[in-house]
Chains A and B, each alone.
Chain A
Amino acid sequence: MKRDKHLFVLLIPYMALFLLFTVLPVIISIFFSFTYFNMLEFPRWVGWENYSKLLWDDDVFLIGLKNTLIFAVITGPVSYIACFVFAWLINELNPKIRAFMTLVFFAPSISGNIFFIWQVIFSGDSYGIMNGLLMKLGFIYEPILWLQNPDYMLKIIIIVQLWLSLGTSFLAFIAGLQTVDRTLYEAGAVDGVKNRWQELWFITLPSMRPQLMFGAVIQITSSLAVAEVAMALAGFPSVQYGAHTVVTHLVDYGTIRFEMGYASAIATVLFMLMLGTNLAVQKLLKRVGE
């Protein structure tokens, strides 16, 4: 018992802060989602009203939800697979080149929000690198307003999001690949593994299932929370809500209109969406290599 006391002394500072700044906010958020609350008056209980308004009467939310799902369905799997494929390709190189290529792929996600550079690349005048290039090559005759046109906005944000997405899970995969037991490959060759694709499916992937799980959590969470890049590149609110997402809707109600109850309902829906996707994907990943 005395030994346990020491352990709790080590545990408590972190846990206290974790409860205060992560667990408590989630509980508060779920509670407020059932109230009308504008930060001035005392919150008033309204039951499921926020949710029914959100899901049935709020067209802008539905646009945001649609965009978010488009983002998530494209960037989620693509970035996840890209993280793995590039980690796998890099792993075959010799150590010096491997270290260099890891840096090249990891650099965008670590460089502290410098994705604004894409704003310069896709800027709407002929000084923008993309317009300049396309005009020089003769594909277009006058500059395109990339980030004001709802047809291009979403696609550009997806590209930038992919550019930024080789982060934590990419590193986890590189590391995971290096821990795969080498003797398994030799055993595989004896047992009739014929090419690198079979090797990948029957040996490499199952050996790193734990890292694959971890990477999935990180990747799903970030692909459903697209907002910062969208707001920085397409402006807020974006033209015809072309780059509106669940999180920008949340920012709108939470920090501009101060309808905290409604904003909390949006946050809760987002949380449920993340949790559900995570659980489903984890189930799916258990079947890798079977």
Chain B
Amino acid sequence: MKLAMRLRRRVNRSWQVDIVLLLVLGLFGSFMAVPLIYVINNAFKPLDELFIFPPTLFVRNATLENFADLFQVMKNSWVPFSRYIFNTFFITAAGTVGHILLASAAAYPLAKHKFRGHKMLFTVIVLSLMFSPHVTAIPNYMIMSVLGWMDSYQAVIVPAFAYPLGLYLMKQFMEQIPDALLEAAKIDGASEYRIFWQVVMPLVKPAWLTLLILMLQMLWGTDGGSFIYSEQLKTMHYAMGQIIQGGIARAGVGAAVAVIMMVVPIVTFIFSQSNVIQTMASSGMKD
């Protein structure tokens, strides 16, 4: 039956075009993958292999030297490398958890209770998807200094709680929950908080995995913006910049940091992929 479905689905296909399209896909796929493969290989290349001419893509004698060097190099710097790792983890974890909690809490009334003004609130959220953070960078700087949050973790973490994209996706996803389910919970005497926490939240697991990925992508790569000055609070992204500035001498070590940087988001994405796709299915904007 399944096979029959698939055959019928392909009724309008010619195999010549199939082959051309697959070639296109393969070609661009390798364009996407080659730079990543190159970094990963560089991270494992011994010093002499990094500088052979012409340069090679794949490593021949893999070594872990670069990773060992990384910790060696950073041990002698102002703060140990582990501190940068901790800062990045802390900012990412706190910002992501806070965002998921606050954005879901706000998405629930917007999606399921049509109170007065809900349309206008949502329009503002959609509009705010349309400007880049650069537009608000200067006033944000002033707000931070008025709040006295300069040079602190919260200057990066707290604004992340209120990014518009997360609320937007969460609201679109929550709208698909059948009202009957919420009515049933209400008849059983559950309060709005309980309905939100024990009925809605478990149902939108794919959505919060998506927010997890998007926030991870955003915060994991942050350098602390213009808010963080002291060396102890800086992130891995910043440290990576410093190492790469070192130029050729640090090529291997630079690649090693890059590999450490990319492992976490990619692995998270692999594990949450099917859930993420499910959420994005409801991402659409209806006019």
A residues in contact (CB < 8 Å) with B: 3-4, 6-11, 13-15, 17-18, 20-26, 28-29, 32, 82, 86, 89-90, 92, 99, 101-114, 116-121, 126-129, 132-133, 135-136, 163, 166-168, 171-172, 174-176, 178-179, 182, 185-186, 189, 193-196, 198-199, 208-214, 217-218, 220-222, 224-225, 227, 247, 250-251, 254-255, 260, 263-264, 267-268, 270-271, 274-275, 278, 282, 286
Interface of B is mostly: helix
Inter-chain contact B142/A28, CB cutoff 8 Å? yes
The answer to the question of B44 belonging to the interface, with a C-beta cut-off of 8 Å to chain A, is: no
Q: How far is the CB of A103 from chain B (nearest CB, A)?
A: 6
Given contacts A7-B192, A14-B103, A127-B248, contact A112 B280 (CB under 8 A): no
The answer to the question of B158 belonging to the interface, with a C-beta cut-off of 8 Å to chain A, is: yes
Minimum CB distance partner of B107 in chain A: A14
- Hey, what's the 0/1 contact readout for B226-243 against A, CB within 8 Å counting as 1? 100000000001001100
Whole-angstrom CA separation of A116 from B27 in the bound complex: 22
Question: Would you give 26 A-B contacts (Cβ < 8 Å), ordered by A?
Answer: A13-B106, A15-B106, A18-B167, A20-B162, A21-B140, A28-B143, A89-B25, A90-B25, A103-B269, A105-B29, A107-B33, A108-B35, A110-B213, A112-B220, A127-B51, A127-B53, A168-B280, A186-B8, A189-B11, A193-B12, A195-B12, A196-B12, A213-B287, A214-B283, A217-B285, A221-B130
Q: State which of A9, A112, A247 has its C-beta within 8 Å of the C-beta of B217.
A: A112
A-B pair count, CB < 8 Å, reads: 287
Inter-chain contact B135/A121, CB cutoff 8 Å? no
Chain A residues lying within 8 Å of B78, measured Cβ to Cβ, are none
Q: How far is the CB of A187 from chain B (nearest CB, A)?
A: 12
Whole-angstrom CA separation of A277 from B261 in the bound complex: 34
Inter-chain contact A89/B21, CB cutoff 8 Å? yes
Binds A, one of B59-67, B79-87, B121-129, B177-185: B121-129
Given contacts A129-B55, A254-B138, contact A17 B36 (CB under 8 A): no
Chain B residues lying within 8 Å of A250, measured Cβ to Cβ, are 134, 137
Chain B residues lying within 8 Å of A274, measured Cβ to Cβ, are 130-132
Chain B residues lying within 8 Å of A118, measured Cβ to Cβ, are 35
Inter-chain contact B262/A14, CB cutoff 8 Å? no
